Amino acid sequence: MALLNIFAMSKAFTREDDDIPERPVLPRSAPALPPGAKNFLTPDGERRLRAELERLTRMESSEVADAAGADRSDGAQRLGAADRQRRLQIQQGLAMAVVVAPPPRPWEQVRFGATVTVRADGGAETRYRIVGVDETDVDRDWVSWVSPIARALLNARMGQRVRLKFPGGEQGVEIAGIVYE
């Protein structure tokens, strides 16, 4: 009998109309830069942001033409608003961007834009690419230059040991490789 009560939910906690489409997830805003910090970008990051901006601008142009001939659904309007917000965010980021070219070889010290290979005590290797806040991609291990991992790696040299701070604790690693795209 108690099991049935779990599933007997008050109507106050459900939606009135299940026909209303779910609201689209708005893109998250870019992480804030520390006060006075420059908005660094890699050359590849600038290229990718400009391509995204061009794609969003083309989409908006075609949506304006489509909207002139028909009523747009509420969901389509919200999605269009999310795209406009993202376009504005990219425009602002590019307007303040400082594109940083890779340093000349030899690559003995970690700088902005580096892909750094670190080796843990057990021999496991991980790569982190240090990028601008607008380029951060945790799925690809691209970390913002203002992140704790990047701050620990910046200015380190080949073979140097550094301590990386993670939510679960600290880990000592050795700089095993430094490359730039």
Hey, where are the domains in the chain?
37-101, 114-180
Domains 37-101 and 114-180 share a fold: no
- Looking at residue 100, its pLDDT comes to 96
Nearest to 92 by CA among 33, 156, 35: 33
- Looking at residue 82, its pLDDT comes to 82
- Looking at residue 63, its pLDDT comes to 63
Q: What is the pTM of this model?
A: 0.71
Q: Which alpha helices (H) appear in the chain, and where do they start and end?
A: 2-7, 43-69, 74-95, 148-153
Query: CATH classification of 37-101, choosing from 1.10.530.10, 1.10.287.180, 3.50.50.60, 2.60.120.460?
Result: 1.10.287.180
Residues of the chain with pLDDT under 50: 1-11, 20, 23-27
- Looking at residue 26, its pLDDT comes to 45
- 136 CB contacts (<8 Å, ≥6 apart)? 31, 142, 143, 144, 147
- Looking at residue 6, its pLDDT comes to 43
CATH class of 114-180: alpha beta
Which class for 3: exposed (0-12), middle (13-18), buried (19 or more C-beta within 10 A)? exposed
